[in-house]
Amino acid sequence: MRLQWSHSVIRVRDLELMVAFYRDILGFQVADRGLLGPEGPEVVFMSGSSTDHHQIAFAKARGEEDASSLEHMAFRVDSIADVRTMFERVTKDDRVQGAAPITHGNAISVYFSDPEKNGIEIFCDSPFSVQQPQIRGWDPGSSDAEILAAVESGFREEPGFMPMDEYRAQKAQEFGENDA
């Protein structure tokens, strides 16, 4: 299994200041924003490329007392089988805390924490895009086909649901990546 760096989620104090900085200085665009669950916090997803839904996300969830701003680090793998293998590995290791199989509709993931409580996400892309944030569980005991079918049926009625290729083509247009 090969891990590829994907994105970071950072807890922030001033969400709009951080969004404006990354937009104005680094050229990122807002991909999605919304509440993470019914009680929040608000999260903003940003990207500078059509190939990634987000390369950085900010969650308005950092108080003055919080020493760290890191929510989690994310690593992309090639397949659901790789995510399942990681889920099995981390649930058998007593150094790992809180392993949870999560899908966002656009990804199938396992979240867990390292021994110092730093968040880690291992995920593979799904063939679908859906407006974010979204959080649901998935069954690691299911086959790849069953997991994808459950993701599709579970998110099909959500705003922005479409094939990932269509989403990426739209974003490539927005980023001017098709201009020659």
Structural domains in the chain plus CATH codes: 4-174 (3.10.180.10)
CA distance 152 to 85: 22
The tally of CA atoms less than 13 A away on the side-chain side of residue 139 is 10
**What integer pLDDT is reported at residue 26 of this predicted model?**
67
CA distance 15 to 21: 10
**What integer pLDDT is reported at residue 90 of this predicted model?**
87
**What integer pLDDT is reported at residue 175 of this predicted model?**
85
Torsion of CA 101, 19, 73, 141, to 10 degrees: 10
Q: What is the pTM of this model?
A: 0.76
CA distance 93 to 99: 10
pLDDT by residue, tens only, the chain of 180 residues: 787 888 989 888 888 988 998 888 767 899 999 998 888 889 999 998 888 889 999 898 767 776 668 788 898 999 999 999 999 988 998 878 789 999 999 999 999 887 667 788 999 999 999 999 999 999 999 999 999 999 999 999 999 999 999 999 999 998 888 765
**What integer pLDDT is reported at residue 66 of this predicted model?**
66
Asked if residue 159 has a cis previous peptide bond (ω within 30° of 0), the answer is no
Task: Count other C-beta atoms under 10 Å from residue 176's C-beta.
Answer: 8
Strand partners, 57: 9, 45
The secondary structure element, H or E, covering residue 137 is: strand 136-137
**What integer pLDDT is reported at residue 70 of this predicted model?**
79
CA distance 77 to 58: 23
Q: CA 28, 29, 32 angle in degrees (round to 5)?
A: 130
- Helical axes 144-155 vs 80-91, angle rounded to 10°: 100
Q: Phi and psi at residue 103, in whole multiples of 5°? A: -120, 140
